[in-house]
Amino acid sequence: MPYVNIKITKEGKVTAEQKAALIKGATQLLANVLHKNPATTVVIIEEVDTDNWGIGGESVTERRKL
Amino acid sequence: MPYVNIKITKEGKVTAEQKAALIKGATQLLANVLHKNPATTVVIIEEVDTDNWGIGGESVTERRKL
Amino acid sequence: MPYVNIKITKEGKVTAEQKAALIKGATQLLANVLHKNPATTVVIIEEVDTDNWGIGGESVTERRKL
Amino acid sequence: MPYVNIKITKEGKVTAEQKAALIKGATQLLANVLHKNPATTVVIIEEVDTDNWGIGGESVTERRKL
Amino acid sequence: MPYVNIKITKEGKVTAEQKAALIKGATQLLANVLHKNPATTVVIIEEVDTDNWGIGGESVTERRKL
Amino acid sequence: MPYVNIKITKEGKVTAEQKAALIKGATQLLANVLHKNPATTVVIIEEVDTDNWGIGGESVTERRKL
């Protein structure tokens, strides 16, 4: 019964199909590697504004301008 | 000074009264079971789009269609 | 299928019975307030060392000395 | 390569400049105290509705009315 | 630069090789589905005691006894 | 009443003094930038085993060997 939380920047449009692929892929990964039961594996995707995500001391918004 | 994070799917309308009931209930639970001080108990509720929540390898959006 | 994460300071001994009471109570709270299905409600309790928990700008270890 | 998650209530307007200051400040803090590499330090800021944030058993929305 | 947090119950021994497989697999998943850069993808695995993980209103410790 | 969660790899010894400096610094940062009340600012530090932290598709344990 693993719990997987995926945080990504909100850039371009992430489609429902892509989100479904992340959910399916993460669930299979836990089943393949650790034999975890897919039925109780929870995956939560969070999309974060580029102003709110920092790396290297600056926001992704700033980095994308470079 | 516990910290409680509640994640729920964004389905239908969760009212401010229901959120207040979750906050009050979670705070009382920690006070009752572990004698934690309600004054410093923090509760954060996050509502997640059904496309972004997966269980059993598929999104809640897909499961609701079945 | 809510997800509840409870973080508490590691002080004294929190027994398995107390943890079970938190799990049961949090699951019932979501069922009572939002009619969420208890079968798929996940609760994860994390115990944090008092050196690693800060409030008011100082660690709980320091505050407990006052 | 630290990971810092900052949750704040969504009250008034938090500007991109203020968010950039939080990102820069948190990254420097980890570099100063623990010599962590700023290049791989990730900071994620989450803004939470006042209905969804509770302290002392009630929502921040309610507390702001007092 | 996605961030992936995987929480699993601490049951049996999860080897360094299995953890490496989770890290590699989650990183590839984000690259395959969303073309995210593997170099800045962070994966954090947390192992949780079965007393501290609840589902269906009871701890995993209790469920394993059934 | 911000909430700050800092995750770092467990490498070498992080002293109680260093943790106190992180708590104080993060609390001051929120006070300086957003005028948040230090009294209700919560900081939680989590130390993660290098086997359990991945970046660039491999664990920090592996990267440290290079």
Which residue does chain F place closest to E40, by CA atoms?
F56
Would you list the DSSP string of D8-66? EE--S---HHHHHHHHHHHHHHHHHHH---GGG-EEEEEEE-GGGEEETTEEHHHHHH-
| Structural contact between residues D2 and F7, judged by C-beta atoms closer than 8 angstroms | yes
- Inter-chain touch A3–C1, beta carbons under 8 Å: no
Domain positions in chain A: 3-65
The mean-pLDDT minimum among B8-12, D30-34, F56-60 falls in B8-12
Calpha distance E42→E23 (Å, rounded):
8
* Residue F37 in this model has a pLDDT that exceeds 90: yes
Is B47 in the D-facing interface, judged by CB distances under 8 Å?
yes
Catalytic residue among B1, B2, B37, B42: B2
CB B14 within 8 A of CB C34: yes
pTM for the predicted model, two decimal places: 0.97
Please indicate if any CB of chain D lies within 8 Å of the CB of B30.
no
Which one-letter DSSP state was computed for residue A63? H
Residue among B7, B54, B62 minimizing CB distance to A27:
B54
Which residues lie across from C43 on neighbouring strands? C4, E54
The percentage of residues in chain A with a pLDDT greater than 90, rounded to a whole number, is 92
Distance from CA of D14 to the nearest CA of F (A): 8
CA dihedral of B13, A2, A46, B9, whole degrees rounded to 10: -10
pLDDT tens sequence across E31-52: 999 999 999 999 999 999 999 9
Which DSSP symbol is given to C39? G
Q: Is F35 helix (H, G, I), strand (E, B) or coil?
A: coil
E66 interfacial to chain F (CB closer than 8 Å): no
Block means of pLDDT (10 residues each) for chain C, length 66 residues?
96 94 98 96 98 97 91
Alpha carbon distance D4, F5 (integer Å): 6
Q: Are strands A42-48 and A3-9 parallel, antiparallel or unpaired?
A: parallel
Mean pLDDT of B52-62: 97
- A59, A62, A65: best mutation site toward chain D, by most D Cβ within 10 Å? A59
C-alpha span between F14 and D26 (Å, rounded): 17
Q: Which chain E residue shows the shortest CA-CA distance from D1?
A: E42
pLDDT at E12: 85
**Which CATH number applies to D3-65: 3.50.50.60, 3.40.50.300, 3.30.429.10, 3.40.630.30?**
3.30.429.10
